[in-house]
Structure 1
Amino acid sequence: KHPTAPPRATEQTLPGGDEITESAAFRRAAIDAEAYARDPKRLRQLLEDAVGKIGVIPRGPFADTWPYLMAMIRLLRDYQRAEYRDVSEQNLQIIIAAILYFVSPFDVIPDWVPVLGHIDDAFVISLALKSVRADLDTFMAWETARI
């Protein structure tokens, strides 16, 4: 019998996906997303927080999703600037909720916990990506066409 590969960060079972999606931090992010979508100042602050965190976190847990995490942030930036609006309200809120969870230092696994602190963030980004990938691909094609 061949040994199996260790699970990737986004497939980790500690904590389980249900533990994350049922957490208070995840529910709060999902609820707050609608308000952020309607308030350019709050959305701008979220973007500043996300860009600040991007500069200091390890990329390892996000290996599979890093380009899409960056695309989510750029999409929100262009949405906030009213330069890009070709995203459904539902998918916009999913992206905002994922980024809200990402920037929160106090989630299922606090960010300060060595090695594990960003696994739950990577899981939430991966989960959001399953729902919004088509919109992100459309956005990235739009970005490329502008160059």
Structure 2
Amino acid sequence: MNRMVKSVFKRMTKKAVSVMKDKDQMQEISVESLKKGALYKGRKGMDDMWVDVKTFSRLVQEVRKGRYRDISKKSVILIVGALLYFVSPIDAVPDLLAGIGLLDDVAVIGFVAGQLKNELEKFREWETGVKI
């Protein structure tokens, strides 16, 4: 990620700390990320991002409801920060810039998914009851 993207993502992770204290805001971020992600479903190069956004959203919902607890607070902050970045109309590269506007969103979602690969696998195993 470039410096500007990192800077905006850092602001979003700081905001994520306050969002996590409000279950309604967690719900809203989860739903908004699914709505935005669905707009790009099936677009070339967006499949992995869509899978990660859906996983992040489900994980946030389960944490919000108190049903999933086998994850660090820091990891949840990164996930909520990534979703905030994703849904924000004001990020490092505005989504309105045709062709490149989503590249930073893809980079942030992919970065967090890569950093939390093991945590996400544990969540999917918990969710499905199937060892991955």
Interval of TM-score (by shorter of Structure 1 and Structure 2) = 0.7 to 0.9
- What TM-score results when the alignment is normalised by the length of structure 1? 0.79
What's the Cα RMSD here?
Answer: 1.8
Q: Which runs of 5+ in 1 are unaligned?
A: 1-15
Contact 1:95 1:128 in 2 (8 A): yes
Aligned residues, how many? 129
Residue of 95, 113, 124 corresponding to 2:97: 113
Alignment of 1:1-147 (within 5 A): 17-22=2-7, 25-57=8-40, 59-145=43-129
Q: Return the letter of the residue paired with 1:20.
A: V
TM-score, normalisation: structure 2: 0.87
SS at match of 1:70: helix
CA contact (8 A) 2:63 2:69 kept: yes
Unaligned segments of structure 2, at least 5 residues: none
Question: Kindly, what percent of the aligned residue pairs are identical?
Answer: 27
Question: Is the CA contact (8 Å cut-off) linking 2:29 and 2:84 kept in structure 1?
Answer: yes
> Which of 1 and 2 has greater Rg?
1
C-alpha contact (below 8 Å) 1:61/1:119 kept by paired residues: no
Q: CA deviation at 1:61?
A: 4.1
